[in-house]
Amino acid sequence: MTVRDAHPSPPPLSRAERGVTSRAAILVAILVFALFLLPWVAGKYPVYLAMQILILAVFSVGFNLLFGYTGLLSFGQAGFFAVGAYGCAKILLAVPNLLLGIAGGVVAAGVAAFLLGILSVRHTRIYFSMLTLAFGMMIFSIAWKWRDYTGGDDGLVGIPRAPLEIPGLLSISVAAMDRYYYVVLVLSLLAIAAMHRLVHSPLGLTLQAVRDSETRAQFAGVPVRKYRLVAFTIAGLYAGLAGALLPPLENTVTPPIAHWTMSAEPVLATLMGGIHSFAGPIVGSLLFFVIKDVAMRFTEYWLIVFGVIVVAMVMRFPNGVMSFFEHRQRPAPIPGTVRTEGEGGKSART
Amino acid sequence: MNKKFAVPSILVLLSLFVFVSGPASAQCKLGVPAIKVGVQGAASGPHADYGRQIEMGATMAAEEINAAGGVLGCKVEIRFLDDENRPATGVKNARLLVTDWGAHFTVGTDSSGVAMAMGPVLAELKRIHFFTHAATHRLTEDLVAGKGIKEIVRVSVPIYQDAITAALIFKDRMDIKRWANIGADYEYGYVAWNMFKETLRKYRPDVEFVGEAWAPFLTLDFSPHISAVMAQKPDAIFATPWAGEAVMLLRQALIQGVFDNVQVWWQAMGGSVDVLEGISAEVAKDRFKGKLWATARYIHNWPDTADNRAFIERYRKRWARFPNYSAETTYSAFFIMKAAVEKARSMETDKVVAAMGGMQIRNPGGVREFRSVDQQFIYNVPAGRPVMDTRYPIPVLGDLKVFEAKDYYRYPPFTPVSVTK
């Protein structure tokens, strides 16, 4: 049986379901439109904050492919984030070409994720988590110690916001923050759209099958380890993209971005938003920055406030904030069609 | 409230509001409601005391300036943010303070890494930042003198003091021929040790540098570092871990009997209030046997001037603590800013920097002089041995060695210093 055979086409959507889908599509379109208008209506700081949120959203969406869709909790994603950031920074310092820098960072992170993934996906559960934590901290140590290449604890400084350039074709200056915002926005939207397509593709469905029952997937002929490696590499590419967008924004890269505390950010954002919802990590990223920013404005003990809010949110919405909206928006079940837990009710919601 | 009194009461309150709030902004000769000064430092984690002291120094300075009528009639408003000792947070804070809150100036910053990350961003934000702790020489030598970033001004003494002063003090100690290093495993530690070696070699070609052990941030157990360098039988130790790590290091050195076997232990920034508080019991019992030497960017028992004594008194009254150097440098930065703005009658970077040209200003830590080439304020700070003094509840530095600042500051053209081990 092929993988595609294992997932027969879903039944056509009911009118109520189509209504929910079209409402969601309209909402997404409005949000995207608002994001494009942001530099025109908001000050510099909200634009800067929006870029931080978008970067974390890309990072978290990639992380959730591994966590929510494949069932692997990685504590080392900051390592790939840092590889992307340092890769991009080194290229931009040598060749001031933004596209080249970002592409280089993404490729470097993808290669690192692939190589470390070969070793990591041999294990699952806590063993996988510990391995990724160790590899992530190994990258942190390299960033810290390889001073000649990474600048050690001082990092790389003075990274230019180089022009978007295709030699002989176009050259657009993005030195102004507002212009760079559109680079971050477009790349983030493309990355998120690609991930949406991916998780609804046979590959995405297969990853969910691996997550739900490794044994069943193996009996269905799925090479589980290869699929996990693919998910790990893609998550690494996304972490690399997020990392590569950072140096032109901050003009600097330092080792703390590879630390495990940085790996916790997509974990936290995803848990806050909801791991079983595609939009969960994106909404979680927004909440993460907004709560932190608001708390920092009112008290220097913002970490306590932030922690209390996160704990309260996790207790109130154990499946993430998006579960609340999904619950409210989910159409009433048609009598006789409700699936029980034993009949596969645990299937992933995307 | 009775209705017939309601309207008159509201009118009285409104007129009171206008009376209280109106003149302050009307009198401000800079055309702003208030001068906003963003402040940041490490207020969480193991170095949090330094950020807190920055905040306390800033708060007290703003209160005193406002009580005396403000700057050109403008009130000073401050806002403090924790930079977590993380470059990314420092940069984000700078952006928030300037582009969102509307800061006209920013002040503070403990870590050299944060400072170096902020430097280029300050040029983009077009706001002067008065650095009051970060010590890397590259901040002023590379970013100001080299790249011409005018938004960087440093009020605190840079790393020269930790390294060059030590060499000047011990060059005449002919009994010390073998130096070993327990260094902070990052740029500050590397540069301090390299600069110390470079300076001492000029005076004492016979001296040997026999061992090095490097401790990263957040090291708790220094025993392997101590054992490694003591195995080389040094006459003296040069140590650069700071804050709580310095306290930990010194206590573990005592346990391992280091002070029975060396002639001198140089503890960079060991004269900071938090370190002195931490080793208070050991100093009281003379467990360092007079072999411990320390310095800081400012020491509360020096200079013995009316200004400094009054500052200490006000600070203790306000905060029930002694000011450490990040408090004094931040406090002084506000008065430097005030003097420069009053002279420039503007808050524009070029005009304020021009107004600082040739400035000599008396602060609690002594007279500071502005050096235009790297926008570094120059002032004297001595080194000495931690001792108890009946006038103070915590140790002070005694047996003070005072060198003229001109003798231990570097001057252009700045020659490169190795920033590696």
pLDDT in tens, B340-358: 999 999 999 999 999 999 9
A260 or B333: which leads in pLDDT: B333
Mutate to test the interface with A, among B137, B147, B186 (most CBs of A within 10 A): B186
Residue A25 or residue B128, greater confidence = B128
Contact A254, A153 (CB under 8 A): yes
Give domain status of residue B1, yes or no. Answer: no
Rounded to 10°, the helix A44-67/A177-199 angle is 20
Q: Using CB atoms, which residue from A154, A158, A257 is nearest to B187?
A: A154
Sorting pLDDT into bands at 50, 70 and 90, what band is A135? confident
Cα–Cα distance measured from residue B33 to residue B71, given in angstroms and rounded to the nearest whole number: 12
**Two tokens at A289?**
């920055």
User: Do the Cβ atoms of A155 and B87 come within 8 Å?
Assistant: yes
CATH number at residue B189: 3.40.50.2300
- DSSP letter at A144? H
pLDDT at A97 over 60: yes
Q: Residue B282 pLDDT > 60, yes or no?
A: yes
pLDDT of residue B143: 93
Chain A: residue whose CA lies nearest to B138: A154
Q: Do A157 and B86 touch (CB under 8 A)?
A: no
Chain A residues in contact with B38 (beta carbon < 8 A) = none
The pLDDT value recorded for residue B16 is 46
Residue A338: pLDDT band by 50, 70, 90 thresholds?
very low
Highest mean pLDDT among A120-134, A222-236, B243-257: B243-257
Which residues on chain B are in Cβ contact (under 8 Å) with A296? 81-82, 96
Mean predicted confidence (pLDDT) in A279-291: 90
**Chain mean pLDDT for chain B:** 91
Taking residues B312-338, what's their average pLDDT? Answer: 96
B87 to A48: CB separation less than 8 angstroms, yes or no: no
What are the phi and psi torsion angles at B204 (to 5°)? -135, 80
CB pairs under 8 A between A and B: 83
The residue of chain A with its CA nearest to that of B81 is A300
Task: Give yes or no for B187 touching A (CB within 8 A).
Answer: yes
A292 CA: distance to closest CA in chain B (Å): 12
A256 touches chain B (CB under 8 A): yes
| Secondary structure E strands in B235-322 | 236-239, 264-267, 292-295
Rounded mean pLDDT of chain A? 83
Residue B108, phi-psi category: left (phi > 0), alpha (psi -120 to 50), beta (remainder): left
Q: Are residues B336 and B372 in the same domain?
A: yes
Q: B4 falls in which pLDDT band (50, 70, 90)? A: low
Of B40, B35, B11, nearest to B24 by C-alpha is B35
pLDDT interval class at B394 (50, 70, 90) = very high
Which of A44, A144, A158 is facing B99, going by the closest CB pair?
A44
| Cα A318 to Cα B385: distance, rounded to the nearest angstrom | 57
**pLDDT at residue A297, rounded to an integer:** 77
* Residue whose C-alpha is closest to residue A174's, from A242, A98, A104, A240: A98
Asked if B43 and A144 come within 8 Å (Cβ–Cβ), the reply is no
Confidence at B23, pLDDT banded by 50, 70, 90 = very low
Q: What pLDDT, in 10s, does the model give residues B189-213?
A: 999 999 999 999 999 999 999 999 9
B56 and B182, same domain (yes or no): no
Distances (CA, A) of B110 to A43, B17, B54, B218, B243: 29, 39, 9, 16, 11
pLDDT of residue A42 exceeding 80, the answer is: yes
Residues B315 and B340 in one domain: yes
> How far apart are alpha carbons A247 and A88 in whole angstroms?
7
Average pLDDT over residues A236-254: 92
Q: For residue A211, is pLDDT > 90?
A: no
CB A228 within 8 A of CB A114: no
Residue B347 in any domain: the answer is yes
Tell me whether A148 touches chain B (CB under 8 Å). Answer: yes
- Using CB atoms and an 8 Å cut-off, which of residues 142-161 of chain B contact chain A? 147
Residue B220 forms contact with A (CB below 8 Å): no
pLDDT exceeds 70 at position A79? yes
Residue among B95, B119, B187 whose CB faces A48 most closely: B95
User: Which chain B residues contact residue A148 at CB under 8 A?
Assistant: 420
The reported pLDDT for the residue numbered A100 is: 92
pLDDT per position as a tens digit, B94-120: 999 999 999 999 999 998 889 988 998
B99 and A45 in contact by Cβ < 8 A? yes
Residue A306, pLDDT score: 83
| B201 in a structural domain | yes
Decide if pLDDT at A134 tops 90. Answer: no
**Shortest CA distance to A164 belongs to which of A92, A82, A105?**
A92
Q: How many residues does chain A have?
A: 350
Query: Does the pLDDT of residue A349 top 90, yes or no?
Result: no
First to last CA, chain A: 24
Is A96 in CB contact (< 8 Å) with chain B? no
Distance of residue B80 Cα from the nearest chain A Cα, in angstroms? 8
* B284, pLDDT greater than 80: yes
Query: Could you tell me if A344 and A297 are in contact, meaning their C-beta atoms sit under 8 angstroms apart?
Result: no
pLDDT value at residue A224: 83
**Residue B289 sits in the same domain as residue B332:** no
d(CA A258, CA A240): 11
Residue B419 and residue A147: Cβ atoms within 8 Å? Answer: yes
Give the residue from B396, B342, B409, B403 showing the smallest Cα distance to B370: B409
In A159-213, which residue ranges form alpha helices assigned H by DSSP? Answer: 177-199, 202-212
* Residue in A48, A250, A300 closest to B88 by CB: A250
Chain A residue whose CA is closest to B86 = A256
Q: Is the pLDDT of residue B60 over 60?
A: yes
DSSP B401-417: E---HHHHS--SSPPP-
Of residues B26 and B228, more confidence is placed in B228
Whether the CB-CB separation of B234 and B210 falls below 8 Å is answered with yes
- List phi, psi (to 5°) of A173: -75, 130
Half-sphere exposure of A119 (CA within 13 A, CB side): 11
- The residue among B269, B270, B272, B297 whose CA lies nearest residue B368 is B297
Mean pLDDT of the B160-173 span: 93
What pLDDT shows up at residue B264?
97
Return the pLDDT at B235. Answer: 97
pLDDT band at A183 (very low <50, low <70, confident <90, very high): very high
Mean pLDDT computed over B129-138: 94
Which residues on A lie below 8 Å from B218 (Cβ)? none
pTM recorded for the entire structure: 0.81
Q: Which pLDDT score, from 0 to 100, does residue B9 have?
A: 56
**Nearest CA distance, A262 vs chain B (angstrom):** 11
Q: Are residues B57 and B191 in the same domain?
A: no
- Residues on chain B touching A293 (C-beta within 8 angstroms): 96
Q: Which residues pair with B173 in a beta bridge?
A: none
Backbone φ and ψ of B369, nearest 5°: -125, 135
- Reported as a pLDDT band with limits 50, 70 and 90, residue B88 is confident
Greater pLDDT, B22 or A280: A280
pLDDT at A334: 47
Name the least confident of B23-32, B264-273, B377-386.
B23-32
Q: How many residues does chain B have?
A: 421
Check if B86 contacts A (Cβ < 8 Å).
Answer: yes
Are B231 and B139 within one domain? no
The structural domains of chain A, with segments of one domain joined by +, span 43-258
Suggest the residue from B93, B100, B114 to mutate for an interface test with chain A (most A CBs closer than 10 A): B100
User: Which of B81, B99, B419 has its CB closest to that of A48?
Assistant: B99
Tell whether B242 is within 8 A of chain A (Cβ): no
Q: Edge to edge, what strands does the sheet with B376-378 contain?
A: B75-82, B34-41, B105-108, B128-131, B152-154, B376-378, B366-371, B360-363
Same domain, B332 and B193: no
A-chain CB neighbours of B147 within 8 Å are 158
HSE of B110, CA atoms in CB hemisphere, 13 A:
30
**What's residue B218's pLDDT?**
81
How many domains does the structure of chain B reveal?
Answer: 2
For residue A62, which of A318, A285, A293 has the smallest C-alpha distance? A285
Query: Does the beta-carbon distance from A252 to B420 stay under 8 Å?
Result: no
Q: Which residue of B has its CA nearest to A51?
A: B92
Residues B331 and B370 in one domain: yes
Interface residue A43 vs chain B (CB under 8 A) = yes
Domain containing B226: what range? 160-296+382-408
Q: What is the mean pLDDT of residues A293-303?
A: 78
Instruction: Check CB contact under 8 Å for A44 and B95.
Output: yes
Whether residues B211 and B231 fall in one domain: yes
Q: Do B82 and A296 touch (CB under 8 A)?
A: yes
Mark whether B393 and B276 lie in a shared domain: yes
pLDDT at position A17: 62
Please check the confidence at residue A158 and state whether its pLDDT lies above 90: no
Confidence (pLDDT) at B18: 42
* pLDDT given at position A346: 41
Q: At what angle do helices A77-94 and A125-145 cross, to 10 degrees?
A: 30
Regarding whether B53 and B125 lie in a shared domain, the answer is yes
Tens of pLDDT, residue by residue over B69-83, are 999 999 999 999 999
Q: Do B88 and A48 touch (CB under 8 A)?
A: no
Compare A18 and B371 and report the one with higher pLDDT: B371
Compute the average pLDDT of residues B384-389: 95
| Chain A partners within 8 Å of B54 (Cβ) | none
Q: Which residues of A touch B117 (CB under 8 A)?
A: 155, 157, 250-252, 254
Q: Please give the pLDDT value at position B17.
A: 44
Best A51, A56, A157 member to test B by mutation, with max B CBs in 10 Å, is: A157
pLDDT higher than threshold 90 for residue A74: no
Between residues A331 and B157, the one the model is more confident about: B157
Are residues B55 and A293, on separate chains, in Cβ contact within 8 Å? no
Nearest chain A Cα distance for residue B235, angstroms = 29
- A260 part of contact set with chain B, CB < 8 Å: no
B420 lies in some domain: no
Q: Which of B80, B91, B113 sits opposite A153 (nearest CB)?
A: B113
